Chain A
Amino acid sequence: MEAIGKRAAMRSKSTGKSEWRSTELLGYWVLRFTLVLVLFILGVIVYDIVAKGIGVINWEFLTQPPRTGMTEGGIFPALVGTLYVTLITIAFAAPFGVAAAIYLNEYAIQGRFTRLVRMSLRNLAGVPSIVFGLFGMAVFVKLFGFGPSLIAAGLTLGLLTLPVTVTASEEALRTVPRVYREGAFALGATRWQVIRSIVLPRAIPGILTGTILGLARAAGETAPILATGAAFFLPHLPDSIKSQFMALPYHLFIMATQHHAISQVRPIAYGTALVLLLLVCILNFGAVILRKRYRDKAAKGL
């Protein structure tokens, strides 16, 4: 960027528009500084978590339940609980989200109704997660009578991810070129055949990516599971979808703010944070790999 600075200086000399040039240069440095600042803050947070959390992470930490009033032992039940609830979330959000997107993009007559639905989805994506949590408590826990449970929490997180899944899936469907659809229709394919054999195979990478990103967000949410089934402490793993469960984000919340011996469990809190961070990273990374694999396949034209 020294080169850019020099070039700018040279140009300003030759054209005489020095004022405009210096404004541009200022803008350039402001933008650059902002980026560096954001990266720096992110780096500090990640560094802090890794540095303080890495020490407690070992095989025992990952495979043992908490012991002696949660001041010792590991986070196994919370890890398993988060995995379970995430599975329920994806089992609910993925099919519903993709189906809704297919309807919205392929079947629905585009007009005021679809515009309204899309606008609602965007707004829904911005609703605070605690609102989803309370809704889940009112509907799944109370009305449906699931009680505080894996299924209630999973469905609540599913609702939370649904707007993301639908929007991402629809975006993916929309990128499938129209000429492919027309080619198939012109051969006498029904709408479903066109979707099934031409559109979906092309849209799957985008759909998967969107779904996984939504899931990664859901896995880290605390508020929606707080009221729908996450437990402070359970001595055993959940044995059915109607059981309560421990979850990483909630466990972290407890260890960081609610425990009676906060300073004593601080390392465990950091370890939990690091595991949660890694989990979300793995999910995001998985999305990237999947997308790349499908892209490569698409580039080969198969």
Chain B
Amino acid sequence: MQITTNQQTKKDQGEMVEPASINAESDPAVVKNGYGEDYCEVKVKGLNFYYGSKQALFNVNLRAKEKGVAALIGPSGCGKTTFLRVLNRMNDLIPDTYLEGKVCIHGEDIYDPSTDVVELRKKVGMVFQQPNPFPKSIYDNVAYGPRIHGLKNRARLDEIVEKSLRGGALWEEVKDRLHDPALSLSGGQQQRLCIARVLAVQPKILLMDEPTSAIDPIATQRIEDLIRNLCTDYTIIIVTHNMQQAARISDYTGFFLQGEMIEWGETANLFTNPKDKRTEDYITGRFG
């Protein structure tokens, strides 16, 4: 993890995300936070995204510093999941998609032809809406990532599996049955397994696409706790339908509407004092 060279970053660990702005250079919020312009973990500039001829994202801008949780909220079909999948190039798998603008992670343009997508996805892990453990054992699920990246040493794998399962707050529950099928776990456990599986490839950034929408409230709470724990070590960007969830767990929030990022700011501010009328209407439940 790049703890950055900037002392101030460590001090203000909570405030890892900066407001997006088309002219970030002149945005007073950026200046106020005192971060240098040179380094952002995730920097998105003028992003347009198309499915065929249908445009799904319109001029999205975002600058995120290291660590903490950023939530993306908005009604269904507003482009938040599309945006999330831009960040690890998962949209590459969908034929006939097209992208304009710049998406930089750790200062590198991830859509540059020279980018190694495998390396990118190792660095930017993803957890999906539906828990999707592979139909293999618990152990093999977590070991999958390290194995495909060439790790064969059994002892080292054991170590990574334990560490990742602990990271996913699942170790205590499964340590005696690591070789049971992953599909025998409950939905919430499966989702934590998926998180552990991602941790095993040692990412820097975690993308989560509505990770709790398919799980019950108690399991949801465990995952929210887990997210809060993880955010001291990882930058987490989470898409959620649930505004309370965004308010509970995120440091920064972005509001998407019809493919545009309407507003982006500190979660507390955005929820109590939205700048845009549309954000206000959405968070007060007038639509969506």
Hey, which bits of chain A sit against chain B, CB under 8 A?
109-110, 177, 179-190, 193, 197-198, 201-202, 298, 300-302
Contacts and interface: CB of A to CB of B under 8 A. Distances in A.
A288 to B, nearest CB: 22
B182 interface: yes
Nearest to A201: B135
The 7 closest A-B pairs by CB, nearest first: A301-B181, A301-B183, A179-B132, A186-B126, A188-B121, A188-B122, A187-B145
A109 B132 contact: no
5 contacts: A182-B90, A185-B93, A187-B198, A188-B122, A301-B135
Contacts of B119: 188
B144 interface: yes
B144 A186 contact: no
Residue among A180, A185, A186, A198 having the largest count of chain B Cβ atoms under 10 Å: A186
A298 B135 contact: yes
B183 to A, nearest CB: 3
Residue among A188, A193, A298, A302 having the largest count of chain B Cβ atoms under 10 Å: A188
Q: Is the interface of A mostly helix, strand, loop or mixed?
A: helix
Contacts of B201: 187-188
Contacts of B55: none
Contacts of A186: 88, 90, 121, 125-126, 128, 198
A62 to B, nearest CB: 42
Contacts of A184: 134, 144, 148
Interface in B136-167: 136-137, 144-145, 148-149
Given A182-B90, A183-B128, A302-B181, A188 B149 contact: yes
Given A180-B132, A186-B90, A187-B125, 4 more contacts: A184-B134, A184-B144, A186-B128, A300-B181
A179 B90 contact: no
B136 A185 contact: no
Interface in B91-129: 93, 95, 118-122, 125-126, 128
Contacts, number: 73
B181 A182 contact: no
B261 interface: no
Contact of A193 (B88, B126, B148): B148
A188 B134 contact: no
B197 interface: yes
Interface of B: 88, 90, 93, 95, 118-122, 125-126, 128, 130, 132-137, 144-145, 148-149, 181-184, 194, 197-198, 201
A302 to B, nearest CB: 5
A179 B128 contact: yes
B181 to A, nearest CB: 3
A262 B201 CA distance: 73
A182 B128 contact: yes
B130 to A, nearest CB: 6
Nearest to B179: A302
B126 to A, nearest CB: 4
A189 B148 contact: yes
Contact of B121 (A109, A179, A187): A187
Contact of B90 (A185, A300, A301): A185
A300 B182 CA distance: 10
Residue among A109, A183, A184, A198 having the largest count of chain B Cβ atoms under 10 Å: A183
Given A182-B90, A188-B122, A302 B128 contact: no
Residue among B95, B128, B132, B184 having the largest count of chain A Cβ atoms under 10 Å: B132
Contacts of A183: 128, 132-134, 194, 197
Contacts of B136: 301-302
A206 B118 CA distance: 30
Contacts of B132: 177, 179-180, 182-183
Contacts of A182: 90, 93, 128, 132
Nearest to A190: B118
A259 B132 CA distance: 63
B184 A185 contact: no
A188 B144 contact: no
Nearest to A186: B126
A198 B133 CA distance: 11
A127 B42 CA distance: 57
A302 B178 CA distance: 12
A180 B53 CA distance: 28
Contacts of A202: 135
Contacts of B121: 185-188
A181 B135 CA distance: 12
A184 B201 CA distance: 12
B137 A187 contact: no
Contacts of B197: 183, 187
A202 to B, nearest CB: 7
B144 A197 contact: yes
Contact of A188 (B118, B183, B194): B118
A109 B95 contact: yes
A184 B194 CA distance: 11
A182 B88 CA distance: 11
A43 B88 CA distance: 60
A110 B95 contact: yes
Contact of A301 (B93, B125, B130, B182): B182
Contacts of A197: 144, 148
A168 B118 CA distance: 31
A186 B195 CA distance: 12
A231 B145 CA distance: 56
Nearest to A187: B145
